Amino acid sequence: MSNRSQEICGPRTTQTIEPHSKITFKRKKENPPILTGVLTRLKPLRLLLLLLYILRSSLNSLTQKMDAIDSVVDPLREFSKDSIRLVKRCHKPDRKEFSKVALRTAIGFVVMGFVGFFVKLIFIPINNIIVGSV
């Protein structure tokens, strides 16, 4: 009857029943996780170096992702800064300045109209000569 053992409380504990003795509970030893065992045996400096290496490798991948995002965001940021600077420097023209700009724009329209008219006037006879000869 000395080998009468039963597992009652699950995988972690066992209850041993022997004749004429007290009931005792024994805990099964759990193996600590591998990383925990490694970290407890390392010296502080080596532990720090290991952590820095892990952080650096994770930061490298994060840095590559951030560089890709920055290549898209940076031109937009620059454009917005330039636009804000332009709007701050602009002012509403007074009557004299507006009339100058309007007059120069009208002169530009008239000059471009005459250039187009004369080009068309020259190329109509040349076009008739080319089409008439065929």
97-130 pLDDT tens trace: 999 999 999 999 999 999 999 999 998 888 888 8
**How many Å apart are CA 126 and CA 120, to the nearest integer?**
10
Mean pLDDT of the chain: 76
Contact 19, 7 (CB under 8 A): no
Cα distances from 114 to residues 73, 100, 109, 125, in angstroms, run 47, 21, 9, 18
Please name which of 31, 7, 27 lies closest in space to residue 17, comparing C-alpha atoms.
Answer: 7
Of residues 48 and 104, more confidence is placed in: 104
**How many Å apart are CA 5 and CA 20, to the nearest integer?**
14
Those residues whose C-beta lies under 8 Å from the C-beta of residue 47, and which sit 6 or more positions away, are 39
Assign 131 a pLDDT band (cuts: 50, 70, 90): confident
